[in-house]
């Protein structure tokens, strides 16, 4: 991802102190960062760095095709997640019970892309496949939970996690 530096310079984008910090964090941390986490991490390196700068930088990187935006099926809420764009396209597989995210690479994704391009004469710039369900581990746990709650009325889970006081 530090490849982002030359990429940005080439576009006439200034490499500021703040952007350097953010770029390095994204590079090191890797997967599935949301703006707020990135902001918290960046603040430790530069307490003055503003949340707004994080959003602006992410937008810049997104439009420059250097990071991809995900939402992981809104498992954690309505925020977006970001990851360095890699050569290999992959799907995100997220467990709706434990939140674990797996990545899936494979031929079907490439084939899908090719078919869409030729079928519509479409020029693909970004693509994402997100899959939600239950991982092997949570499937068994859920079976147990179901017994307990089977008789209860429909439950629509709370949207945001209950706010915790410290």
Partner DNA sequence: GTTAGTGCAAACCTTTTGCAGCTCT
Partner DNA sequence: AGAGCTGCAAAAGGTTTGCACTAAC
Q: Which residues bind DNA (CB under 7 A)?
A: 9, 12-19, 34-36, 46, 48-53, 55-57, 59, 77-80, 153, 158-160, 163
Which residue in 153, 161, 162, 164 binds a copy of itself (CB under 8 A)?
A: 153
Would you count residue 109 as binding a copy of itself (CB under 8 A)?
yes
Which residue in 60, 75, 76, 85 binds a copy of itself (CB under 8 A)?
A: 60
Task: Tokens for 94, please give them.
Answer: 């997220």
Would you count residue 31 as binding a copy of itself (CB under 8 A)?
no
- Angle at which helix 51-63 crosses helix 35-45, to 10 degrees, equals 120
Minimum Å gap between C-beta 85 and DNA is 18
Cα–Cα separations (whole angstroms), residue 166 to 13, 44, 77: 40, 20, 19
The residue among 53 and 84 lying less far from DNA, judged by its C-beta, is: 53
Of 17-25, 34-42, 46-54, 119-127, which segment contacts a copy of itself by CB under 8 A? 119-127
Q: How far apart are CA 115 and CA 109, in angstroms?
A: 10
Instruction: State which of positions 77-106 bind a copy of itself (CB under 8 A).
Output: 78, 91, 93, 95-96, 102, 104, 106
Beta carbons within 8 Å of 91's beta carbon, 6+ residues apart: 103, 104, 109, 128, 129, 130, 131
The residue among 87 and 164 lying less far from DNA, judged by its C-beta, is: 164
Q: Which does 147 bind (CB under 5 to 8 A by kind): a copy of itself, DNA, none?
A: none
Task: Tokens for 9, please give them.
Answer: 């310079």
Angle at 68 between CA 13 and CA 79, to 5 degrees: 105
> Do residues 100 and 135 make contact, with C-beta atoms less than 8 angstroms apart?
yes
Of 21-29, 31-39, 40-48, 155-163, which segment contacts a copy of itself by CB under 8 A? 155-163
């Amino acid at each position: 991802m530090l490849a982002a530096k030359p990429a940005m310079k080439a576009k006439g984008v200034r490499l500021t102190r703040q952007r350097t910090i953010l770029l390095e964090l994204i590079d090191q941390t890797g997967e599935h960062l949301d703006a707020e986490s990135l902001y918290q991490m960046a603040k430790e390196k530069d307490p003055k760095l503003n949340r707004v700068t994080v959003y602006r930088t992410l937008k810049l990187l997104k439009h420059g095709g250097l990071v991809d935006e995900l939402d992981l099926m809104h498992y954690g809420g309505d925020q977006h997640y970001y990851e360095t764009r890699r050569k290999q396209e992959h799907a995100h597989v997220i467990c709706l019970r434990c939140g674990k995210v797996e990545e899936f690479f494979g031929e079907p994704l490439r084939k899908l892309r090719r078919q869409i391009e030729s079928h519509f004469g479409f020029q693909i710039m970004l693509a994402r496949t997100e899959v939600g369900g239950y991982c092997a581990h949570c499937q068994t746990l859920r079976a147990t939970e179901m017994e307990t709650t089977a008789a209860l009325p429909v439950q629509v889970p709370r949207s945001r996690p209950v706010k915790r006081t410290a």
